[in-house]
Structure 1
Amino acid sequence: MFTNQLSSPKTQSLGSVVSLFTGCGGLDLGFHEEGFESKYAADNDPAAIAVYRHNIGPNAYVRDVTTAEFHAEIRALESADIVLGGFPCQGFSKAGPKRATDHRNVLYLEMRETISSLRPKIFIAENVDGLSQNFGGSYLRAIIDDFTSVGYRVEYRIVDAVSFGVPQHRRRVLFVGVRSDQPDFIWPEPTHEHPKRNGESSIHGSVRSIWDFSDKGALKQAVSIKEGLKGLPLLSASGDHSVTNNWPEKYAHIFKAIGPGQKLCNVRHAPSSVYTWQIPEAFGSITELQRLILETIGRNRRHKKYGDIPNGNPLAVSIIEEIIGVSLESSNFSKLEEMGYLKNVDGKYDLKGAMFCSGLFKRPLWNEPSPTVLTNFHNPRYFLHPTGDRPFSLRECARLQGFPDSFEFTDAGVSLEAGYRLVGNAVPPPLSRALAKSIKKHFKNQLGKVARAA
């Protein structure tokens, strides 16, 4: 059952936690709730640290992990039982440019140095699953080798948070490193089904997924958006359960045209696609013949006989005329260019707007888990509420991430948009809690090993 209440931490600490690249504390929260001591947390984002301090504890600091100040504070800590870190992922993310030279790609080395200094029994590092695929997997191998070099046995798994009762698909790679004198770590077992999304490659087989090593047993049904948002009141005018209300008036026409499971997408000819020319109130009226030209290009642009461009090929006017069966005046094409529906590519025509390639104004299905919550969920241009003509509220995004309602953002003094950014970058707390419970078992196994040796 999906829960949304913040549990009180146990009175006696089970071990100390040092956290780097902390964000607002999604990865830390599960450990806090399970009774571990939050000894030190660092992030270079003041808004993130404000939210962390408001909700988890005071031992959090605005720090750049490359500075002498941070390094001195780590040395002063002397030790920790656990080190956590969600090192920056922009150079690996599927949502942005993938640059092998992005300086953020090597910030994990600061985490390695922290681990080398504090010698924790175990560490957990988190990143986007693109890390395991991009650049031929070279960074994945480098990270494992670098952490291994300071005396840790390192394993990784691909995990989708939906497998742990989060009402959202969120695929991430988790690294767990165990100090050489510690027993092996037992990964947490999935508790919920992992429904495959349309167009998504399986996480089984090609990479080391947590599913490859788990006893599936009797799994609960994946938590839907509807269940995850159950019980929330009507939107507020301000605070966490509100929206920005900052978008153009023409969006209202687009909202009404996008049905459940649909998106605004010109270049994918599918039932899930709504085309801009079907919303003349927002994008301008065209004739029936012009509509036929656009739909003909849409249906045929990806056929291999017209070219081998993976995302689609521009078509010559003669080809379009042949398919439609009529001669076409050039004014039709110039008008569609002028209105922003078509682009001329070396005398051929394609639908305009790579922006529509993966779709905009996506409206997820109410009875399915949410797509991955991103930092831009305040803007309805990217995602719409399943039943409302608006984006998700910040509180709804937090629910989809598995944050309890008692975990506050705007009351910590940060803006609404900053709250969306923090939630979109966070690790889902239910996943953190599952990891914390596994580490509790790990520590218990270690104590048993010591007792047997004595």
Structure 2
Amino acid sequence: MSSLVQKPTVVSLFAGCGGLDVGFKELDYDLIYACDNDPAAVAVYKKNIDERAYVRDVTSDEFHAEMKALGSCDIILGGFPCQGFSKAGPKKHDDIRNLLYLEMHSAVNRLKPKLFLAENVDGLSQNFKGAYLEAIVKDFKDIGYRVEYRLFDSVGFGVPQHRRRIYFIGIRDDLLFDNFKWPEFTHLSQSRNGEAAIADLGDLFSQERQTLLPARTIRDSIGDLIQLNSKIADHRVTYAWNDAWSSIFAKIGPGQKLCNVRHSPTSVYTWNIPEYFGHINDTERCILETIGKNRRHKKYGSIPNGNPLSIEVIKELSGIKSVTRHIDSLLAKGYLKDVDGKFDLKGAMFCSGLYKRPDWDTPSSTVLTNFHNPRYFLHPEENRPFSLRECARLQGFPDDFLFTFGSSERELVDGYRLVGNAVSPPVGRAFAKAIFKYLSKEVKIEAGISRTFSRREVERV
């Protein structure tokens, strides 16, 4: 191999604000083109990563012409949109966003990179019986790429957040895939509820635990940012919430959430916050708790998230002989709902709960686009949502990565959305290192790029 390795060129599609690209910039790859259809995302990308970023619809003639003009590149990155696969929203088989990977497929076919890296939510493997996962692998195989995928949790790369995503690596058939080494975890990652069934997608839990550092926690990441401070970039919140919610905030402790539909020590029930949800008497409380404790028992039905109970069952379980008038009262107060003549709890409707307040000393749950709204997530200690800078840190963005450039509320909300949609930068950094090591060992990058890496730089990666 030559003593010099040319600077690899990168095209980034569906780039968002650049979470996946940060590590490639840090390792001085040549980011020759990036695009996204979101103007706010492109503006942030241009300010923080590279000016060669464009607002583009990847289905447009303009985008296709630009791909033709580029001619070639070494690497294509693509976090193609995942909303059609995500667990957090509706799953639509015909969601047009589910097919946008075909535009990445078209770009790969045209530019013939040595390697591509794609990212998507882990729901891609679970929804629609894995049909899209199989299609993606087959479609790229048909144009000359061997594709493998792994399921990684960002917490394993030192990110103080559980964020499970599938990462695809595709390597051109004339190159050796076996010499590519997937990034390895540096920090402990533990399986959580519902995760064991898909652990076989990759090396999510297989690395030797004794060699790994403890998982980073929320406190590790944002413990110095408790008080909001305008002098810290993006360390502000929207304040777009109802003042009456303060009575709810005050009742949610660390590790708890507002949730009626799961009987658990982590659940705070709406009837325990009469200041907001309305007062009840002791008999009504007994009825609500009886339903809460028994609604998930299989003997009362097969609905996965819980079953409404009949008046007869409520009488039997509660020991209250005359429950009808109390049930009528609870229906009127909004604590119960009538489901075909049976009764179930109402309020904090979805099973994961509302107003979730995490523990300081655990990794965060997945940072979502709605972290600005305290109805969904509360700060571990303060009665407010996470600030935008706190969300950025939980994702692993450096503090000099800026999401707002003024004081507008719209820009702030956009920033939360961009952070919530991003790939965790430390994960992108791990892939940037792994890809560079692969290219430096196996591929002689074509001449024509002015800047080169020295052998010492290669060995440092």
State the TM bucket, normalised to the shorter chain: over 0.9
CA distance in 2, matches of 1:137, 1:153: 18
SS in 2 for 1:435: helix
SS in 2 for 1:61: strand
Q: How far does the alpha carbon of each residue in 1:90-132 deviate from its partner, in whole angstroms, 9 at most, with x for none?
A: 1100000111111110100000110111111110000000001
Q: Tell me, yes or no, if structure 1 residue 259 matches structure 2 residue 290.
A: no
Residue in 2 that maps onto 1:427: 423
SS in 1 for 2:394: helix
Note the C-alpha offset of 1:207: 2.5
Q: Tell me, yes or no, if structure 1 residue 225 matches structure 2 residue 211.
A: no
Question: Which among 420, 425, 436 is matched to residue 432 of structure 2?
Answer: 436
Q: Tell me, yes or no, if structure 1 residue 134 matches structure 2 residue 127.
A: yes
CA distance in 1, matches of 2:197, 2:185: 13
Q: Tell me, yes or no, if structure 1 residue 63 matches structure 2 residue 56.
A: yes
Q: Cα distance 1:231–1:345, how it changes in 2: closer, same or farther (>3 A)?
A: closer
Question: Counterpart amino acid of 2:167?
Answer: L
CA distance in 1, matches of 2:284, 2:93: 44
Q: How far does the alpha carbon of each residue in 1:423-450 deviate from its partner, in whole angstroms, 9 at most, with x for none?
A: 0000011000000000111012114899
Identity %: 59
User: Which of 347-356 and 127-136 deviates more?
Assistant: 347-356
Q: Tell me, yes or no, if structure 1 residue 250 matches structure 2 residue 244.
A: yes
Note the C-alpha offset of 1:206: 3.6
Residue in 1 that maps onto 2:32: 39
SS in 2 for 1:250: helix
CA distance in 1, matches of 2:272, 2:14: 45
TM-score, normalised on structure 1? Answer: 0.93
CA distance in 2, matches of 1:145, 1:36: 29
Alignment of 1:117-132 (within 5 A): 117-132=110-125
CA distance in 1, matches of 2:443, 2:17: 32
Note the C-alpha offset of 1:149: 1.1
Note the C-alpha offset of 1:204: 6.2
Q: How many residues align?
A: 437
Question: Counterpart amino acid of 2:412?
Answer: L
Asked if 2 retains the 8 angstrom alpha-carbon contact of 1:189 and 1:215, the reply is: no
Question: Counterpart amino acid of 2:389?
Answer: R
Question: Counterpart amino acid of 1:192?
Answer: H
Asked if 2 retains the 8 angstrom alpha-carbon contact of 1:190 and 1:211, the reply is: no
Gaps of 5+ in 1: 1-11
Q: Tell me, yes or no, if structure 1 residue 83 matches structure 2 residue 76.
A: yes
CA distance in 1, matches of 2:8, 2:115: 11
CA distance in 1, matches of 2:443, 2:338: 70
CA distance in 2, matches of 1:443, 1:237: 43
TM-score, normalised on structure 2? Answer: 0.91
SS in 1 for 2:357: coil
Residue in 1 that maps onto 2:442: 446
Question: Counterpart amino acid of 2:306?
Answer: G
Alignment of 1:308-347 (within 5 A): 308-347=302-341
SS in 1 for 2:419: helix
Note the C-alpha offset of 1:205: 4.1
Alignment of 1:2-401 (within 5 A): 14-184=7-177, 185-197=180-192, 199-202=193-196, 205-212=199-206, 214=207, 218-232=211-225, 234-236=227-229, 240-353=234-347, 355-401=349-395
Asked if 2 retains the 8 angstrom alpha-carbon contact of 1:195 and 1:222, the reply is: no
RMSD: 1.9
CA distance in 2, matches of 1:233, 1:267: 31
Asked if 2 retains the 8 angstrom alpha-carbon contact of 1:226 and 1:366, the reply is: yes
Asked if 2 retains the 8 angstrom alpha-carbon contact of 1:13 and 1:36, the reply is: no
Note the C-alpha offset of 1:237: 5.2
Q: Cα distance 1:84–1:447, how it changes in 2: closer, same or farther (>3 A)?
A: closer
Q: How far does the alpha carbon of each residue in 1:288-323 deviate from its partner, in whole angstroms, 9 at most, with x for none?
A: 100100000001111122122221111111211111
Asked if 1 retains the 8 angstrom alpha-carbon contact of 2:259 and 2:348, the reply is: no
Structure 1 runs of 4+ with >6 Å offset: none
Q: Cα distance 1:109–1:38, how it changes in 2: closer, same or farther (>3 A)?
A: same
Q: How far does the alpha carbon of each residue in 1:353-397 deviate from its partner, in whole angstroms, 9 at most, with x for none?
A: 462422000111100100000000000010111111110000000
Asked if 1 retains the 8 angstrom alpha-carbon contact of 2:260 and 2:349, the reply is: no
Q: Cα distance 1:322–1:261, how it changes in 2: closer, same or farther (>3 A)?
A: same
Asked if 2 retains the 8 angstrom alpha-carbon contact of 1:244 and 1:378, the reply is: yes
